[in-house]
C-alpha cells in the first residue's frame, strides 16, 4: 500500500470490500476483496472524472485499494437505470424505495435535486461509454455525501452493486477501460 497512507480502524464491511479509516486526515481506505473488482471501481472513477462528475475518489494505492475522501453520508441513495434515450432515477433509504416527497423530507429539495442531477449525469456518462461496447442498459446504486465545506459528492461506486453488462469483473473492467 505504500508508506504514505496507513489503515486505521475498520469502519464497515460492504459487498466485496471493507472501509477503513486512514491516517491521512479526511481519508478513507477502500479495500476490495478482489483485484478485478478494484480495477472496475477504479475505471468507473476515471470515467466519471473525465465526464466532470464530482466524486470522493482520491487515488489508487494498490491492486485492491483505493483512497477516498471521508464524506458525511446522506440518508438517501439513488438507484439509476439507463437505457437508450432514458435515465430512470429512484430514491431509497433504509432498504425501501421513497417517493419524491419522502426523499425531500430527508434532504432539502435543493440537495435532492443536486444528487438527482449528479446521478443522471453519471448514468449518462457510463451508459454512453458502455454503449460503444455493445451494452445498452445499466443499473447502478449510487451514494452521496458532503465534504466538510458542504460540497455534495458521489461516493466511490462499488461495481458489485451495479449491472454493467457482465457479472465478470475482469470483463467489466475491460468494458470500462477503453
CATH code of the domain in which 133 resides:
3.30.470.20
Domain boundary at 69, 89, 118, which? 69
The DSSP letter of residue 76 is -
Overall number of domains in the chain: 2
85 and 147 within one domain: yes
CATH at residue 60: 3.30.200.20
Sheet with 138-142: list strands edge to edge.
96-98, 86-93, 77-83, 138-142, 162-163
> What domain range includes position 156?
72-167
Please report, to the nearest 10 degrees, the dihedral formed by the alpha carbons of residues 109, 115, 120, 121 taken in order: 120
pLDDT number for residue 3: 53
Nearest Cα to 60, choosing from 76, 39, 77?
A: 39
Q: What is the mean pLDDT of residues 17-22?
A: 95
Main-chain dihedrals φ then ψ at residue 123, nearest 5 degrees: -65, -45
85 and 115 within one domain: yes
Main-chain dihedrals φ then ψ at residue 94, nearest 5 degrees: 60, 30
133 and 84 within one domain: yes
pTM: 0.92
Q: Answer positive or negative: Cα dihedral of 130, 147, 88, 51.
A: negative
pLDDT number for residue 111: 95
65 and 76 within one domain: no
The verdict on residue 177 lying in a domain is: no
Give the confidence band of 24 by pLDDT, cuts at 50, 70, 90. Answer: confident
Quote the Cα angle for 1-65-37, to 5°: 145
78 and 46 within one domain: no
Per DSSP, the three-state class of 32 is: strand
Main-chain dihedrals φ then ψ at residue 100, nearest 5 degrees: -60, -40
- 75-126 per-position pLDDT tens digit: 999 999 999 989 999 999 999 999 999 999 999 999 999 999 999 999 999 9
The verdict on residue 103 lying in a domain is: yes
161 and 86 within one domain: yes
Domain boundary at 19, 49, 69, which? 69
Domain boundary at 69, 88, 112, which? 69
86 and 141 within one domain: yes
Q: For residues 55 and 119, what is the distance between their CA atoms, to the nearest angstrom? A: 11
The verdict on residue 2 lying in a domain is: no
| Letter string b/e over residues 131-159, b meaning 16 or more CB atoms within 10 A of that residue's CB | beeebeebebbbbbbeeeeeebbbbbbbb
Is the pLDDT at 11 greater than 80? The verdict is: yes
Amino acid at each position: 500500500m505504500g508508506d504514505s497512507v496507513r489503515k486505521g480502524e475498520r469502519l464497515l464491511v460492504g459487498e466485496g470490500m471493507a472501509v477503513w479509516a486512514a491516517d491521512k486526515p479526511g481519508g478513507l481506505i477502500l479495500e476490495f476483496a478482489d483485484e478485478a473488482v478494484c480495477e472496475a471501481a477504479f475505471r468507473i472513477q476515471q470515467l466519471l472524472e473525465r465526464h466532470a462528475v464530482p466524486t470522493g475518489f482520491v487515488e489508487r494505492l494498490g491492486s485492491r485499494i483505493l483512497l477516498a475522501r471521508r464524506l458525511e453520508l446522506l440518508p438517501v441513495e439513488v438507484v439509476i437505470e439507463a437505457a437508450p434515450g432514458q435515465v430512470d432515477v429512484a430514491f431509497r433509504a433504509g432498504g425501501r424505495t421513497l417517493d419524491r416527497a419522502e426523499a425531500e423530507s430527508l434532504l432539502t429539495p435543493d440537495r435532492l435535486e443536486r444528487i438527482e442531477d449528479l446521478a443522471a449525469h453519471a448514468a449518462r456518462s457510463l451508459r454512453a461509454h458502455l454503449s460503444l461496447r455493445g451494452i445498452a442498459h445499466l443499473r447502478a446504486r449510487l451514494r452521496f455525501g458532503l465534504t466538510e465545506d458542504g460540497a455534495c459528492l458521489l461516493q466511490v461506486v462499488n461495481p458489485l452493486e451495479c449491472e454493467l453488462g457482465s457479472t465478470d469483473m475482469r470483463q467489466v473492467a475491460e468494458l470500462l477501460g477503453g
